[in-house]
C-alpha cells in the first residue's frame, strides 16, 4: 500500500486474485529460490518484457516500468519488493493510466514435515474503474492457469534434482543454489524460450575450440550448453557458476570460455557492478569502454571503478551462433540480488517482527537510502536481532544469546524515522560466482589471448589489491660468452618456459618479459611466494650447472591496469616496489617488504628458511623500507636436509 492511496480509493477498489497451495518434497530455502524468482514468474504468467527507468518525484526516487498487457500500454511505479530468504516474497506495482490500479504477487513458505515445504502463492490485481471488473476477471483466469503451470514446473525441476547434500556449498545464497539447479535441469517454463542455434557456425567454430588447449570434456559441455540451453542462460554466462553446476575446475571452465571467445563462439563483455547494491550498473563491450567512473541509476551514485572489485567478466553467445538478447520482466526480483537475504519495509515510527535464518559470518545491515549501515560478525545466529531505524543512521544489536539449534532468529525492526525505511541484510562476502578483474588480471590465458584487450589510451583502471612478482636471471651474459650465442639462447628460452609454467601452476600470469626478467601478477602474495619457490627450484634443477641463478622480488597492493604499446600492462607504486625489491635480491633469494613477509599465509611459507631482515632505500621511492630476504635456493635446501 502506498501513502498517497486514500482510504476511499482503496475501499472503492475490488481485488481479483487467485491463490494456489502446493507441498514440495524439498527444503524450504531451495523451494523459495524458485518460487521467489518473480522475474521468471512474470515471464511464465505471460507478461511482456518491461522497460525500466528511474525518476525523482517530490524528492523521492521511484522506479518506473512500462510494457504492453492485454492490448493496453501499461506504466507503473514499482516500489522495492520485500522478502526474507526461505520465508516469503511480496511485491506490488502501482499502475498508472490503466484500467487497474495495482497488481502484485506474494508467496509464503512453511515447513510441511521433514524435507517438505508448503507454498501459498497469490497473484492479484485491483482497481475501481469501469473496466476493472472485465480486466480483473480476465487476469484472475490467467493467473489461475499460469500459477498451476508454474508450480508444476517447479515440482518437475525439484523432482529431477540430485541429492540436496550434493548441492550444498557453504554460505551459498538460496538464489544461487536455485540457479545452479536450473542450469542442471532445463525446463521450458522455468528456463524460458530457446532459440535454435546456427548449426553450421556452431560446428565450424566448435572445431576451433576443440583444437585449443582446453580439456575436451569441458569444451564438449560448453558446446552442448550453447546448443541446448535457454536464451536467458546463454545471454549472460558466468563461467564460475557453470563450473559449480558442472562440477569442474573453475580455472578450466574460464579457460574454455576465453578460448571459445577467440573461436567466435561467445563474446566477452565487462559488467560494471555497483559497490553499494552490487548489481550491474553498466555493461561494456571492451575494456576500452569501461572508463574510470560510472553511475548506478538504482543507487543514484557515481563512483570510481575498481577493476579488481567492481568489474566482472561475463560472456554471451555470439550472434552468429545464437542471436539472443536480455529481457527483464521484473527488475525488483530477489533473483537479481542473491546476496540480499532479507529486504523489508518498515513504516515510519512502526515496529515489525519476522523470523529469519541468519548464516554465520559477516553480514551487512543497511538502508536502501544509504543513510545507515552496520556490519555484523556472527559466529552463530543470535536468538534476536534488534534493528532501530533512525532518519540518518541504524542501530543494530544481537540479543538474547545464540538461537536454539534449528530455530530462526527473531528479527525486530523498530522505526524512529519520519518516513518509511527499507532495511536490507546482506552477505557481505559472497561473490563466489564472479570472475572479477583481479582474477582476469592474474589469469595466464587472458593475458596470452587478450593482451590487446586494454583500457582506452589515457584511462587507467585501478585494482584494489594484486601481487606483483619480478624475476631476473643472473649469469646469462657470462653464459653467452662461455658457450656461444645459439646454445645460450636456447638455455635462456628454456628458462622462460620453466618460469611461465611455474607461474601458471600457482595461479599467476606472465605480463611481459624484459631482457632476462619476467613480470607476473597473482591474486595474493602467498600465491606469488609459492610461485617463487617453484621458479627457483625449477631454475636450479635445470640450469645451476650453467652458473645461472634467479633472484626475485614480490610486493602486493593496489595498482593500475593501463594501455602500453596497445597491450595490457600494470603500473603504480606496487609495481615499482616489486621491481626494486628484485634489485635488492641475490641469486636464489626473494625479497619482500616486511609487512608482506609477516602476513600469516606468507609467513607459513617462509617459516624455517634462512632469511635476513634489513633496511634499504628503494630508488625513486624515497625513505628507507624494512625488507626481508628469504633464501629459497637449492643450496640452502640441501643444507637444511643435512642438518635435519
**CATH (residue range 457-643):** 3.30.70.1230
**135 band by pLDDT with thresholds 50, 70 and 90:** confident
Between 585 and 450, residue with greater pLDDT: 585
Q: Which pLDDT does position 497 carry in this prediction?
A: 92
Mean of pLDDT values over 75-92: 96
Q: Which pLDDT does position 9 carry in this prediction?
A: 47
Based on C-alpha coordinates, what's the Rg of the chain?
29
Give the C-alpha separation, 338 to 273, whole Å.
Answer: 14
Between 298 and 235, residue with greater pLDDT: 235
Q: Considering only the top CATH level, what class is 7-167?
A: alpha beta
Q: Which pLDDT does position 428 carry in this prediction?
A: 83
Task: Specify which residues 270 forms β-bridges with.
Answer: 284, 313
**Given a cut of 50, is residue 10 above it in pLDDT?**
no
**561 band by pLDDT with thresholds 50, 70 and 90:** confident
Q: Which pLDDT does position 1 carry in this prediction?
A: 34
Q: Which residues contact 74 (CB under 8 A, 6 or more apart)?
A: 66, 67, 68, 95, 98
Cα–Cα distance list, 12 to 6, 15, 303 (Å): 10, 10, 46
Give the C-alpha separation, 364 to 38, whole Å.
Answer: 24
Find out whether 117 and 111 touch, Cβ atoms under 8 Å. yes
Q: Which pLDDT does position 170 carry in this prediction?
A: 65
**Per-residue pLDDT reduced to its tens digit, 333-347:** 999 999 999 999 999
**Given a cut of 50, is residue 496 above it in pLDDT?**
yes
Between 633 and 125, residue with greater pLDDT: 125
Cα–Cα distance list, 172 to 3, 169, 390 (Å): 37, 5, 31
Give the C-alpha separation, 627 to 581, whole Å.
Answer: 8
Cα–Cα distance list, 114 to 26, 111, 338, 408, 512 (Å): 9, 8, 26, 16, 58
Q: What is the percent of the chain with per-residue pLDDT over 70, rounded to a whole number? A: 94
**451 band by pLDDT with thresholds 50, 70 and 90:** confident
Element (H, E) at 294: strand 293-296
- Could you say which of 1.10.150, 1.20.120, 1.10.10, 1.10.3470 is the CATH number of the domain covering 196-323? 1.10.10
What DSSP assignment string belongs to 354-392?
Answer: EEE-PPSEEEEEEETTSS-EEEEEESS-EEEEEEEE-SS
Mean of pLDDT values over 222-227: 96
User: 102: closest CA among 127, 136, 73?
Assistant: 127
Q: Which residues contact 528 (CB under 8 A, 6 or more apart)?
A: 467, 468, 469, 506, 508, 520, 522, 554, 556
N-terminal to C-terminal alpha carbon distance within the chain = 76
Q: What's this model's pTM, rounded to 2 decimal places?
A: 0.83
- Starting at the edge strand found earlier in the chain, the sheet holding 280-284 runs 280-284, 266-273, 311-317
Burial letters for 413-439: b for 16+ Cβ neighbours within 10 Å, e otherwise?
Answer: bbbebeebbbbbbbbbebeebbbbbbb
Domain boundaries in the chain? 7-167, 196-323, 339-427, 457-643
Residue 78 in 3-state DSSP?
Answer: coil
Q: What are phi and psi of 35, to 5 degrees?
A: -75, -25
Q: Compute, in degrees rounded to 10, the torsion defined by CA atoms 636, 640, 641, 644.
A: 180
Find out whether 228 and 220 touch, Cβ atoms under 8 Å. no
User: 354: closest CA among 362, 363, 364, 345?
Assistant: 345
Burial letters for 599-623: b for 16+ Cβ neighbours within 10 Å, e otherwise?
Answer: beebeebbeebbbeeeeeebeeeee
Mean of pLDDT values over 340-361: 94
Q: What are phi and psi of 528, to 5 degrees?
A: -65, -40
Question: How does the average pLDDT of the chain come out, rounded?
Answer: 88
Give the C-alpha separation, 248 to 244, whole Å.
Answer: 6
Strands 421-427 and 340-346: antiparallel
Q: What are phi and psi of 401, to 5 degrees?
A: 70, -160
Residue 205: exposure state from Cβ atoms within 10 A (0-12, 13-18, ≥19): buried
C-alpha cell at position 42 = 512474470
Amino acid at each position: 500500500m502506498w501513502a498517497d492511496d486514500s482510504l476511499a480509493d482503496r475501499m472503492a477498489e475490488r481485488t481479483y486474485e487467485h491463490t494456489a497451495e502446493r507441498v514440495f518434497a524439498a527444503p524450504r530455502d531451495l523451494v523459495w529460490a524458485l518460487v521467489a524468482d518473480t522475474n521468471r514468474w512474470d515471464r511464465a504468467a505471460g507478461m511482456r518484457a518491461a522497460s525500466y527507468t528511474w525518476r525523482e518525484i517530490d524528492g523521492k526516487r521511484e522506479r518506473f516500468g512500462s510494457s504492453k498487457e492485454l492490448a493496453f500500454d501499461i506504466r507503473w511505479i514499482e516500489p522495492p519488493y520485500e522478502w526474507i530468504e526461505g520465508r516469503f516474497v511480496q511485491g506490488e506495482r502501482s499502475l498508472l493510466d490503466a484500467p487497474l490500479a495495482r497488481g502484485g504477487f506474494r508467496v509464503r513458505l512453511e515447513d510441511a514435515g521433514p524435507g517438505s515445504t508448503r507454498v501459498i502463492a497469490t497473484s492479484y490485481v485491483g482497481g475501481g474503474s469501469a473496466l476493472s471488473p472485465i480486466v480483473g476477471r480476465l487476469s484472475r483466469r490467467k493467473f489461475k492457469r499460469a500459477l498451476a503451470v508454474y508450480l508444476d514446473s517447479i515440482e518437475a525441476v525439484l523432482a529431477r534434482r540430485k541429492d540436496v547434500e550434493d548441492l550444498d556449498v557453504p554460505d551459498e545464497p538460496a538464489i544461487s543454489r536455485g540457479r545452479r539447479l536450473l542450469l542442471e535441469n532445463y525446463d521450458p517454463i522455468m528456463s524460458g524460450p530457446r532459440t535454435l542455434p546456427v548449426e553450421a557456425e556452431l560446428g565450424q567454430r566448435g572445431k576451433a575450440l576443440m583444437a585449443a588447449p582446453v580439456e575436451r570434456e569441458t569444451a564438449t559441455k560448453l558446446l552442448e550448453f550453447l546448443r541446448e540451453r535457454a536464451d536467458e542462460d546463454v545471454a549472460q554466462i558466468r563461467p564460475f557458476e557453470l563450473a559449480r553446476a558442472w562440477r569442474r575446475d573453475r580455472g578450466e571452465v574460464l579457460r574454455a570460455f576465453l578460448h571459445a571467445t577467440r573461436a567466435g563462439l561467445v563474446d566477452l563483455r565487462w559488467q560494471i557492478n555497483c559497490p553499494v547494491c552490487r548489481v550491474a550498473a553498466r555493461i561494456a563491450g571492451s575494456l576500452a569502454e569501461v572508463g574510470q567512473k560510472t553511475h548506478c541509476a538504482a543507487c543514484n551514485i557515481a563512483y570510481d571503478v575498481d577493476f579488481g572489485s567492481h568489474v566482472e567478466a561475463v560472456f554471451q553467445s555470439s550472434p552468429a551462433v545464437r542471436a539472443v538478447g536480455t529481457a527483464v520482466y521484473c527488475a525488483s526480483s530477489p533473483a537479481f540480488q542473491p546476496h540480499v537475504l532479507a529486504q523489508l519495509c518498515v513504516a515510519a515510527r512502526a515496529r515489525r517482527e519476522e523470523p529469519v535464518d541468519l548464516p554465520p559470518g559477516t553480514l551487512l545491515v543497511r538502508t536502501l537510502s544509504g543513510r545507515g549501515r552496520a556490519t555484523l560478525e556472527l559466529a552463530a545466529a543470535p536468538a534476536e536481532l534488534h534493528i532501530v531505524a533512525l532518519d540518518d543512521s541504524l542501530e543494530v544489536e544481537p540479543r538474547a544469546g545464540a538461537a536454539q539449534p534449528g530455530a530462526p532468529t527473531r528479527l525486530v525492526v523498530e522505526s524512529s524515522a519520519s518516513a518509511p525505511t527499507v532495511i536490507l541484510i546482506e552477505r557481505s562476502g559472497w561473490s563466489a560466482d564472479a570472475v572479477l578483474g583481479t582474477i582476469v588480471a592474474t589469469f595466464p590465458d587472458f593475458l596470452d589471448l587478450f593482451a590487446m584487450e586494454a583500457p582506452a589510451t589515457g584511462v587507467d583502471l585501478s585494482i584494489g589489491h594484486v601481487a606483483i612478482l619480478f624475476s631476473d636471471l643472473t649469469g646469462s651474459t657470462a653464459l653467452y660468452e662461455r658457450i656461444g650465442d645459439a646454445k645460450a639462447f636456447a638455455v635462456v628460452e628454456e628458462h622462460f618456459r620453466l618460469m611461465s609454467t611455474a607461474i601458471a601452476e600457482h595461479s599467476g600470469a606472465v605480463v611481459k618479459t624484459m631482457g632476462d626478467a619476467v613480470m607476473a601478477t597473482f591474486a595474493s602474495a602467498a600465491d606469488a611466494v609459492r610461485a617463487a619457490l617453484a621458479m627457483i627450484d625449477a631454475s636450479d634443477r635445470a640450469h645451476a650447472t650453467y652458473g645461472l641463478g634467479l633472484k626475485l622480488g614480490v610486493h602486493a597492493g593496489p595498482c593500475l591496469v593501463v594501455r602500453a604499446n596497445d597491450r595490457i600492462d600494470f603500473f603504480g607504486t606496487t609495481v615499482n616496489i616489486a621491481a626494486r625489491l628484485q634489485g635488492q635480491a641475490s641469486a636464489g633469494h626473494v625479497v619482500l617488504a616486511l609487512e608482506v613477509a609477516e602476513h600469516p599465509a606468507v609467513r607459513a611459507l617462509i617459516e624455517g628458511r634462512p632469511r635476513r631482515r634489513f633496511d634499504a632505500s628503494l630508488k625513486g621511492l624515497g625513505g628507507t623500507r624494512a625488507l626481508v630476504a628469504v633464501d629459497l635456493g637449492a643450496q640452502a635446501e640441501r643444507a637444511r636436509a643435512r642438518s635435519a
